[in-house]
A and B are shown apart, each in its own frame.
Chain A
Amino acid sequence: MIIEEEKNKSGQGAASNHRASFVIAVAGNPNAGKSTLINAMAGARLQVGNWPGVTVEKKSAEFEYEGRRIILVDLPGTYSLSPYSQEEVIARDYLVHERPDVIINVVDATNLERNLYFTLQLLELEIPLIVALNMYDEAGQKGFRIDTAKMASMLGCAVVPTVATRREGVDRLIETAVEFAESSNRREMMAVSYGEDIEKAVRSIVEDMKQHGAELVNHGPSRWQALKIIETDEIVLDEMGISADDNFLKQATHHLSKAHGEDLETLLADTRYALAAGLTREALKKPETRKRELTERIDAIVLNRYLGIPIFLFFMWLIFKLTFDIAGPFTEWFDAVISGPLTHWSAAVMTLAGAPDWAISLVTEGVIAGVGAVLIFLPPIFAMMFFITFLEGSGYMARAAFVMDRMMHAIGLHGKSFIPLLLGFGCNVPAVYATRTLENPRDKALTALLIPLMSCGARLPVYLLFVGVFFSAYAGTVLWSLYILGIILAVMVGWIFKKTLFRGEAPVFIMELPPYRMPTMTSLLIHTWEKGKHYLIKAGTFILAITICIWFGLNLPWGVESKRDSYLGHIGQAAAPVFAPLGFGTWEAASSLITGVIAKEIVVSTMGEVYTPKDGDDKEKNAPSVSEELKQIGVSFVGAVGKAVGNVFSTFGIATISMEEEEGTESLKTAIKKNFTPLSAYAFMAFVLLYVPCFIVLVAMRHEFGTWKWAGVTIAYQSVLAWTVSFIIYQGGTLIGIG
């Protein structure tokens, strides 16, 4: 691992001299403002990168500081070093095994006691520690007075007040961190004293470990290990290769258990809590009376028994409306640019360069038509990610989970599972990863199984294409009906799973509701980009490669007369009978569905390629000049901005779904109109919604669960579900004569 090497390199020249690079881990309770602080520290020099290796959630950022390279590691929020959820496991494992050079413990100044409880646990790791007393301004507004000097002297570490959102105290924090990393003298950090009995046991275990040799000593400081042994922390015991029944352990804790009962863990936790409470009493002066805060007043409405769900539904509706209203005109513009000027320019350039016809066709009909069909949906996807990020950042997301808790119980889950499901509307892949905030494996697996039923952004291109052709008059309603269909089926499937695969007790719901905050624009943009960039990267790599393969699939063997006789055509023809009862038993539809397993937006790009006429010779002779076209692009962009603004304020429907009407891939539209009826188009959209999730989601499931089992279950149940539902729609519709 990169970080590991860095540490070794820099670790050699210890003492108090200048170090080339070091690692700072940023840890703390959830909602204490870790990510914001990291953004503030790294500033414009920020390079947020996914962690190399297993986890997506552990982020690192690098920046230069006076000739040093500082690596910041953003750990998931944790309440304790005895982890509860998988996220906490990630944070704990990193701190214990990778041992960063410095820990910055982000402490929520408005919530000292519980935060300090974690600080005390961190101190036991014996890594230089700095407390960033964040949200210092909010504490001030509440009338809290915190004696930071006293806190620092009691804890034996540095305490730096910060306001991450306004970069206050951030420079001092960096300076202190550098100083801590480079100074060689060990600081006298506060050690929790657990009382004579336990301290004696700790000493004897430490002695034993020394005799046992080095293999035991490699998992954290020995005092910490000894305490964990006393707590019978099973993770630590596992790591050390001791079982809870070992004689070694029994001997060490025998007299303790006798004196204090079996539950030493709670005893130690109580001691730490008592100390945290004491520290808080010493350092914090609270005002006599509490003001009723804004958050409480908002919550009184938003969490209201009767209003809660309507308010939530209103917000959802608003997000959809804004997403499509704002992004619609830009999609249209983007589409016009790609299918018009971009296509002839590249054809012209390649002709000038003397490229052979097949290469021109590969680029224009394969790459530009295929990747372009996917890229034009960047605006709605980023817009939706933006609004979801806003909900997360403002604190409403946790309320949505609360409001939905009762409904979620119907499908055997609790409110917290609702958040991954909601994220699934943006993209299923991060949604699958978001299940790691759930504590128990049952909830996690059940939630992950339902996520693919949430209609993700990648399915949108398919709907928009078909809705544009067949349902432009009531586009919004048809589009909504698909999302709702997914949700209703998720409830039904969830209920069935609850009764069969996932019998068991109702899960326990505990969740912190953060205060409402207005997220800063920078953090919104950063997190939107973080969420959306996967889609962009996917288009540039994965989908690019696939579209090229599809082009070859459609044009091989060399010199095929019609696409029907190409390799892909043959595969499509073989599969077509399966789809015949669903109303779309053509080889074109079948081959797009097959390639769509790789990513659902590929359904559209395959159609784009399949339905383009074979001979692309009749290029427009009188193509407008480049400068005219450039001007046109500019003018239409301005038009799109105006339209987006107009949409937001003018109507209360989803205004712009009919966008594909005028421009774009005309031949594709005509072809679709010829090959589908409105009924079979709806059945096709339902099929695309429900059938096997994209390959990337399956990989994410494998990744999260360490087994293909749940991916397999998903493939099986979704195939059956998709076929059945489409069958009912098409045959039912034909029966009652809508065909």
Chain B
Amino acid sequence: MLPLAFLKEDEVAEIVESPHRYGYGHQYRHGAWKFRNGVDQLDCCRKRKHSDDHLLNIGLRPGKYVRMISNSGAGPLVLLIDECRIALGRGIAMKIYVRRIEA
């Protein structure tokens, strides 16, 4: 197992683990955000935890095969999942674990 961000270009891997509670979800729930700068009234993000599941909705889920299309070692990377190219920040790509598949 290795972090997705370590996958080299053209390598194929199976997603083993992806964080399903990453990101901002918990902040909304506990109101931490509110104390920080008071943007909480923004109706765009009513209290919810679903932002976490965006990875899932966009098709990045355990069991799925991905191919690394672009990974320059710094900055965001591009994956191919089925026929769909997903750009992913390096931070989140370090939190997704994959298993290399021999091509």
Could you list which residues of chain A lie within 8 angstroms of chain B, going by C-beta atoms? Answer: 79-80, 82-86, 89, 110-114, 117, 142, 233-235, 238, 263, 265-266, 269-270, 273, 295-296, 299-300, 303-305, 398, 401-402, 405-406, 414-415, 436, 439-442, 444-445, 501-504, 506-515, 705-707, 709
B58 near A114 with CB under 8 A, answer yes
Select B45's contact among A300, A406, A439, beta carbons within 8 Å: A439
In the bound complex, what is the Cα–Cα distance between A85 and B78 (angstroms)? 21
Could you list which residues of chain B lie within 8 angstroms of chain A, going by C-beta atoms? Answer: 20, 22-24, 33, 36-51, 53-59, 61, 69-70, 72-76, 78, 81-89, 91-92
A266 near B87 with CB under 8 A, answer no
B58 near A510 with CB under 8 A, answer yes
For A263, A401, A502, A510, the residue with the greatest tally of chain B CB atoms inside 10 Å of its CB is A510
B72 near A82 with CB under 8 A, answer no
Which B residues lie within 8 Å of A706 (CB)? 41-43
A299 near B85 with CB under 8 A, answer yes
In the bound complex, what is the Cα–Cα distance between A85 and B54 (angstroms)? 9
A/B interface sample: 25 pairs, CB < 8 A: A84-B50, A113-B82, A117-B59, A233-B48, A238-B46, A299-B69, A299-B70, A398-B87, A405-B75, A406-B76, A415-B87, A439-B24, A439-B54, A444-B44, A445-B42, A502-B37, A508-B22, A508-B24, A509-B76, A510-B87, A511-B87, A512-B84, A513-B78, A706-B42, A706-B43
Question: How distant is B12 from chain A, measured CB to nearest CB, in Å?
Answer: 11
B82 near A510 with CB under 8 A, answer no
Closest B residue, CB atoms, query A273: B61
A441 near B42 with CB under 8 A, answer yes
Select B88's contact among A235, A270, A439, A509, beta carbons within 8 Å: A509
Question: How distant is B64 from chain A, measured CB to nearest CB, in Å?
Answer: 9
In the bound complex, what is the Cα–Cα distance between A289 and B85 (angstroms)? 18
A510 near B55 with CB under 8 A, answer yes
Select A405's contact among B23, B43, B89, beta carbons within 8 Å: B89
Closest A residue, CB atoms, query B32: A504
A439 near B76 with CB under 8 A, answer no
Whether A506 contacts B91 in the complex (CB less than 8 A), given A305-B72, A513-B85, comes out as yes
Select A512's contact among B45, B47, B58, beta carbons within 8 Å: B58
B45 near A441 with CB under 8 A, answer yes
In the bound complex, what is the Cα–Cα distance between A514 and B58 (angstroms)? 13
Whether A265 contacts B53 in the complex (CB less than 8 A), given A273-B61, A509-B92, A705-B42, comes out as yes
A234 near B36 with CB under 8 A, answer no
Which A residues lie within 8 Å of B56 (CB)? 266, 269, 273
B37 near A402 with CB under 8 A, answer no
A414 near B39 with CB under 8 A, answer no
A441 near B39 with CB under 8 A, answer yes
Whether A509 contacts B78 in the complex (CB less than 8 A), given A89-B44, A439-B54, comes out as no
Closest A residue, CB atoms, query B76: A405
A84 near B57 with CB under 8 A, answer yes
Which B residues lie within 8 Å of A113 (CB)? 59, 82
B88 near A510 with CB under 8 A, answer yes
In the bound complex, what is the Cα–Cα distance between A569 and B55 (angstroms)? 59
Which A residues lie within 8 Å of B55 (CB)? 510
Whether A440 contacts B58 in the complex (CB less than 8 A), given A111-B83, A513-B87, comes out as no
Which B residues lie within 8 Å of A263 (CB)? 20
The 10 A-B pairs of least Cβ separation, nearest first, read A509-B89, A86-B44, A305-B72, A79-B57, A441-B42, A80-B57, A513-B85, A114-B59, A406-B75, A441-B39
A82 near B50 with CB under 8 A, answer yes
Which B residues lie within 8 Å of A305 (CB)? 72-75
Question: How distant is B26 from chain A, measured CB to nearest CB, in Å?
Answer: 12
Whether A707 contacts B41 in the complex (CB less than 8 A), given A117-B57, A440-B51, A512-B58, comes out as yes
A84 near B37 with CB under 8 A, answer no
B44 near A510 with CB under 8 A, answer no
In the bound complex, what is the Cα–Cα distance between A300 and B70 (angstroms)? 8
A510 near B78 with CB under 8 A, answer no
A79 near B54 with CB under 8 A, answer yes
Closest A residue, CB atoms, query B59: A114
In the bound complex, what is the Cα–Cα distance between A680 and B73 (angstroms)? 48
Closest B residue, CB atoms, query A503: B36
Which A residues lie within 8 Å of B57 (CB)? 79-80, 82, 84, 117
In the bound complex, what is the Cα–Cα distance between A178 and B18 (angstroms)? 43
B75 near A512 with CB under 8 A, answer no
Select A440's contact among B24, B50, B53, beta carbons within 8 Å: B24
Which A residues lie within 8 Å of B42 (CB)? 441, 444-445, 705-706
B53 near A512 with CB under 8 A, answer no
Which A residues lie within 8 Å of B59 (CB)? 113-114, 117
Which B residues lie within 8 Å of A705 (CB)? 41-42
In the bound complex, what is the Cα–Cα distance between A576 and B46 (angstroms)? 46
Select A501's contact among B23, B37, B53, B85, beta carbons within 8 Å: B37
In the bound complex, what is the Cα–Cα distance between A270 and B59 (angstroms)? 11
B51 near A439 with CB under 8 A, answer yes
- Known pairs A89-B46, A506-B91, A510-B92; list 11 more (Cβ under 8 Å): A84-B54, A234-B49, A234-B50, A238-B46, A265-B53, A296-B69, A299-B78, A402-B76, A405-B87, A445-B39, A513-B87
Which A residues lie within 8 Å of B84 (CB)? 111, 114, 512
Which A residues lie within 8 Å of B72 (CB)? 304-305
B51 near A84 with CB under 8 A, answer yes
Select A111's contact among B51, B61, B82, B92, beta carbons within 8 Å: B82
For A112, A270, A295, A511, the residue with the greatest tally of chain B CB atoms inside 10 Å of its CB is A511
Closest B residue, CB atoms, query A399: B87
In the bound complex, what is the Cα–Cα distance between A89 and B36 (angstroms)? 24
In the bound complex, what is the Cα–Cα distance between A273 and B89 (angstroms)? 24
Which B residues lie within 8 Å of A110 (CB)? 83
Which B residues lie within 8 Å of A401 (CB)? 87
In the bound complex, what is the Cα–Cα distance between A730 and B92 (angstroms)? 47
B58 near A79 with CB under 8 A, answer yes
In the bound complex, what is the Cα–Cα distance between A234 and B73 (angstroms)? 38
Question: How distant is A79 from chain B, measured CB to nearest CB, in Å?
Answer: 4
Closest B residue, CB atoms, query A415: B76
Closest A residue, CB atoms, query B49: A234
Which A residues lie within 8 Å of B40 (CB)? 441
